[in-house]
Every structure is written in structure tokens, then in C-alpha cells.
């Protein structure tokens, strides 16, 4: 790289040597011929060393205007920043969507656990205590409390996992106004393929429509997750306090 940077300096020194020798400027043709010969010689040498040929003139950018070089550097820097920004936006949408999906699966698993546990408790309570109601009629009330708690917990767990499907249609007016979210199946599952393809192509050609749909998709995923976890919280609270109350009721009947 040091050798390449010395080429323009070497050419200038040769020109000055001819100028000083004749006490006047050389004709325009002689420096030009000399410069081209020197550059051609070094070009052949650099090609033998497997160096790119355009590096010969790469260090001659000093002849370019400073404003032009600064403009090119600024454009390259801005292009690099925009590329990093777009990559960050894509990563944000990808991570948000994957996090919402993972939380949704977690909520479904918690609801399944609550349904399974409460169903087992109901089966065991009815099977074991049904024959003892004749011997001790006071066991009926704690059993009713326990079964009621289990049923309420099951109901809220089912509501948490119960799907809510929209009408599944959209209009071209919604496409033009960019108010429909085509990334969610509930917006188009009743539509024809041609209408859906038209809407998707409109969204692909319009970056504002595309990113708006992504934002809406993340927002509604968050709304659904909030509803799921709210119902699951109620189910867990009912189960926790109901089981405690049922155990206290059974102990009270046993010691009375």
C-alpha cells in the first residue's frame, strides 16, 4: 500500500525535473506520455503481484474536489446507517412475534394443567366421598364447595383458550384505507384467492401498509395474550383460595 501511494508523488517529481531542466514548462504531450508510460509500467507490475488494477488510480483521489469526496463518504455512511436501521426493525418485529407465540403456548399449557388437575380432583372427590354421604351427611357441603371451585376453575381455563374468530372477510375499501390486517387469518379465511392475492400484492408494494400491518399484528397478539393471562389469573385464584376453603371445611366437619 505504501508503494501504491508513492506513484502520484513520483510522477510529480518527474514533471518538476523536466521543468527545472528547461526553465520552462514542458509541452503538454511529454508529461502526458511520460505519466501514461509510468502508470502502464506499474500497472503491469501490480498485475503480476495479483493486485487490483484499479488501485493505481485509487490513490489519485487528491485531484477530485473535496466537496465531491465528502458527498460520496456521507452518502455511503448514510446508506450504511439505513441498512443497519432496517435490519434492526426486522429483528424487532421477528423477536416480538416469536415472544408472543412463546407466551401464547405457555398460557395454553397452563390452562391445560388447570383443566387436568381440576378434572382429576372432581373425579376422585365424587368417587371416594359419594358412599360416605350416608354415614356423615355433613360431608355434602364441603364436597359441594370443592366441586364448585373445580368447575369454576375449569370454566375460566377453557375461556382462556377459547378461540375468538372474526368474520373472515374484508373489502377493497379497507385495502385502500389500509385498515385491514392481512397477516392474521381471521381477516381473510372466507375470502376468495383472487381477492386475497390482490390485497397481499397491494401490501407488498406499499411499505407503509406492510409495516402498519406488522404493527397491528403485534398489537392484537398482545391484546389476545392479555385476555388469556387475565382469565388464567382468575382461574388460578379460584383454585388456590377454593382449595384452601374446601380443606378448612373438611377439617371443620371432621372435628365437629
What is the model's pTM?
0.63
* Residue closest to 31 by CA, chosen among 14, 48, 46: 14
d(CA 188, CA 174): 12
Quote the CA–CA distance of 149 and 238 in Å, as a whole number.
6
* CA distances in angstroms from 109 to 99, 103, 104, 153, 231, listed in the order given: 15, 10, 9, 15, 14
pLDDT at 156 over 90: yes
Selected residue with higher pLDDT from 150 and 81 = 150
Cβ-based neighbours of 220, under 8 Å, separated by 6 or more: 181, 184
Angle, helices 207-255 vs 66-129, to 10°: value is 30
51-63 pLDDT per residue, tens: 444 444 444 444 4
pLDDT in tens, 203-232: 999 888 988 899 999 999 999 999 999 999
Instruction: Return the ∠ at Cα 39 (arms to 35 and 43), rounded to 5°.
Output: 170
Amino acid at each position: 500500500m505504501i508503494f501504491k501511494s508513492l506513484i502520484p508523488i513520483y510522477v510529480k517529481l518527474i514533471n518538476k525535473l523536466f521543468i527545472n531542466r528547461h526553465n520552462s514548462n514542458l509541452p503538454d504531450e511529454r508529461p502526458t506520455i511520460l505519466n501514461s508510460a509510468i502508470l502502464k509500467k506499474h500497472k503491469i507490475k501490480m498485475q503480476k503481484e495479483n493486485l487490483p488494477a484499479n488501485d493505481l488510480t485509487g490513490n489519485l483521489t487528491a485531484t477530485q474536489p473535496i466537496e465531491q469526496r465528502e458527498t460520496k463518504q456521507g452518502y455511503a455512511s448514510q446508506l450504511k446507517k439505513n441498512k443497519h436501521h432496517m435490519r434492526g426493525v426486522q429483528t424487532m418485529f421477528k423477536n416480538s412475534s416469536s415472544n408472543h407465540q412463546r407466551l401464547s403456548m405457555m398460557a395454553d399449557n397452563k390452562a391445560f394443567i388447570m383443566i387436568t388437575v381440576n378434572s382429576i380432583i372432581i373425579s376422585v372427590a365424587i368417587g371416594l366421598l359419594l358412599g360416605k354421604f350416608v354415614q356423615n351427611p355433613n360431608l355434602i357441603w364441603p364436597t359441594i364447595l370443592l366441586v364448585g371451585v373445580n368447575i369454576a376453575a375449569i370454566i375460566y381455563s377453557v375461556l382462556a383458550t377459547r378461540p375468538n374468530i372474526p368474520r373472515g372477510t374484508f373489502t377493497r375499501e379497507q385495502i385502500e384505507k389500509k385498515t385491514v390486517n392481512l397477516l392474521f387469518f381471521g381477516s381473510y379465511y372466507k375470502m376468495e384467492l383472487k381477492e386475497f392475492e390482490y390485497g397481499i400484492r397491494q401490501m407488498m408494494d406499499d411499505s407503509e401498509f406492510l409495516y402498519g400491518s406488522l404493527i397491528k399484528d403485534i398489537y392484537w397478539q398482545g391484546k389476545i395474550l392479555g385476555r388469556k393471562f387475565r382469565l388464567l389469573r382468575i382461574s388460578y385464584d379460584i383454585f388456590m383460595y377454593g382449595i384452601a376453603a374446601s380443606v378448612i371445611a373438611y377439617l371443620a366437619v371432621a372435628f365437629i
